[in-house]
Chain A
Amino acid sequence: MPFMVAFIWAYILWLVLTAGTKGLGWNVQELVAGLIFAIIVGYATRDVVGERANRYLNPLKWLEFIPYAFVVFWGMIKANLDVAYRVITGRIRPGIVRVPVDLENDAQYTILSNSITLTPGTLTIDACPDEKALYVHWINIPKGQEEPKNSKPVSGPFEDWARRLGK
């Protein structure tokens, strides 16, 4: 099954990159060449992908990423207005805080760390699944938040999103 996951995603990427070779569709050479290369890629990476990747074959899983994309985009807009304000005024109160989180697997840590980096004023420095915590560089720590008890003040709703998407 790890072979199938890598194969399907490699083939979809090939199809996206070669669309428009015959009219708006694909000509036969591209389809066959894509098949060959996707098989090679799938075979070569079957040990890297791992068994747990099977959950990403479920199309419903990918529908969940659509509202997430909008939430992240809104977060990015706020993040950029925030950074723009700090660039212009120079008003910063930086520091590295330890954020306790309650997540189970690596995919959830990856999603949460990347969301935190893309959204307001925070940058993940290290994820430590062994002590269930993230270390986050925060550009403007509000007074009294030097040691946050959960991820709410740092990442807003993203811990719940990460838990749901990485299941």
Chain B
Amino acid sequence: MNGIDYLVYTFLGISVTFNMLGSIALHRFPDVYTRLHGATKSTTFGTIFAVFAVMAHAFYRLHVTGDPKYLQMSLHSLVALVALLLTNPTGAHAIAKAAYLTGYKPKKAVVDSYESRIAGHVKAEPEEGEVKP
């Protein structure tokens, strides 16, 4: 064990902690929108630190051995990180909008301003088992 290993393990620890919190959020939160908060924010943040760990390890090995495969390793994970940061919020946005248009209302919501905007466009189906007023 030397200094760089502690850094790598710290990054991995943060990564695993936040990915775990994201998974717990999926079980604890009441509806699809609040679950998306956990699924997108926590897992993005956790994965950023996983990539940092790979890059720290790869740059250290590059410094020690001078083997170009470690340069490739760090650059490729950097490209993966950029792709993740661009696609993750977009995906969350698409899932949330699709869920709303399918007719899933946010549970326990104190305010729902989107309803009036959507009302004119789409007729939401009542959920199964729901009694029409």
Contact partners of B107 in chain A: CB under 8 A? 94
Query: Residue A102 at the B interface, CB < 8 A?
Result: no
Contacts A80-B42, A87-B25 given; does A21 touch B68 at CB 8 Å: yes
B40's partner among A24, A97, A117 (CB-CB below 8 A) is: A117
Main secondary structure of the interface of B (DSSP, over half): helix
Tell me which residues from 110 to 167 in chain A have a Cβ below 8 Å from any Cβ of chain B: 113-114, 117-118, 121, 123-126, 128, 131, 135, 137, 139, 141, 146-147
Q: Give the Cβ gap from B72 to chain A, nearest Cβ, in Å.
A: 5
In the complex, how many angstroms separate the beta carbon of B106 from the nearest chain A beta carbon? 6
- The residue on B at minimum CB distance from A82 is B41
- A96, B112: Cβ atoms under 8 Å? yes
Q: Residue A33 at the B interface, CB < 8 A?
A: no
Contact between chains at B38 and A83 (CB < 8 Å): yes
Q: Which of B68, B79, B106 contacts A20 (CB 8 A)?
A: B68
C-alpha gap A76/B34 in the complex (Å): 17
**Interface centre among A95, A117, A118, by most B CB within 10 Å?**
A117
CB proximity of A78 to chain B, nearest CB, Å: 10
The 9 A-B pairs of least Cβ separation, nearest first, read A20-B68, A117-B89, A98-B113, A95-B111, A114-B89, A146-B111, A20-B71, A95-B109, A96-B114
Chain B contacts to A: CB under 8 angstroms = 18, 21, 24-25, 28-31, 33-34, 36-38, 40-42, 44-45, 48, 68-69, 71-72, 75-76, 78-79, 85-86, 88-90, 92-93, 96-97, 100, 106-115, 117
